[in-house]
Amino acid sequence: MITFYILFFICMQFTLSQSTDINSSFEITDSQLKTLFNFIQEEIDSDFEYYSYNDEPEVYLLKNKLGILIKADLDVCTDGSPDNKQEKCTDNTQFCIDKHYQKATAYSINGRYLNADKINYMVLPQEKYLEWGVVLGDFGFIVNWNTKKLVFALFGETGPDSKIGEGSICAAKQLGFCPCISTSNGKNKLVGISKDVYYIVFGNSKSLLSSITSENVNEIITVVGLDLLKEKYGIQIEQ
């Protein structure tokens, strides 16, 4: 049985709570996610055998190219940030360094790369995403089952084919996770969310973001995402 708890494609009303900032995450409840689980199975394309490594992560296509569902962990991506430093949550004078840092991102907005410190974005395998029916610039959301938080995110970076489950520093923090910690030997370490992270990318959604800029990207994908869930799929989120 597919163990998915994702908010999507459900013709019923649910109310989620949000903090005052439009860029912040949304809180969801166990009962809401468990109820949605009973419906999401009907949207899986049974002709698509999910792509996985050791049974996790799991990738599922939705019928009629409506999107893609992923269950995985979340590795933190620093690509596109101004410098390769991520402050500790408990001490902003201490930093973590990412040895895989790149200044550029695969997707840019008006010639500007996506700043991992400020923009919620997710990462998909470079050799697979077109096969899955999504393109750079599409958007969707990420759910952290551990903290019961949801954040809208842009598909803005690509990674190796062997790696699935990755999001920006900003997205990780919005999901209630501190990506920079101290280890037992006193050194700082960049870490991700180990399990139970759920991603969805809406197919053909890039065209809905015509007014997007690098400054308003989080706000636009949130506003458009809320409207999409409400008008097309019957899911209402109170602001």
Percent of the chain as helix, strand, coil, to the nearest 5:
15, 30, 55
Please determine, for residue 129, whether its predicted confidence score (pLDDT) is greater than 70: yes
- 121 or 81, higher pLDDT: 121
pTM of the complete model: 0.81
Mean pLDDT value of segment 120-125? 96
**Residue where the block lists tokens 């190219």:** 65
The secondary element (H helix, E strand) that includes residue 37 is helix 30-40
What is the domain partition of the chain in residue ranges?
Answer: 17-231
Residue 210 pLDDT: 85
Residue 25 pLDDT: 80
Q: For residue 155, name the pLDDT band (cuts at 50, 70, 90).
A: very high
Q: 117-121, 157-161, 194-198: lowest mean pLDDT where? A: 194-198
Structure tokens at 206: 């890039």
Residue 76 pLDDT: 87
Please determine, for residue 74, whether its predicted confidence score (pLDDT) is greater than 50: yes
Q: How far apart are CA 197 and CA 144, in angstroms?
A: 5
Check: CB of residue 160 under 8 Å from CB of residue 126: yes
Q: How far apart are CA 184 and CA 17, in angstroms?
A: 37
Q: For residue 24, name the pLDDT band (cuts at 50, 70, 90).
A: low
Residue 89 pLDDT: 58
Mean pLDDT value of segment 209-227? 92
Q: How far apart are CA 116 and CA 172, in angstroms?
A: 10
Q: For residue 121, name the pLDDT band (cuts at 50, 70, 90).
A: very high
Check: CB of residue 145 under 8 Å from CB of residue 5: yes
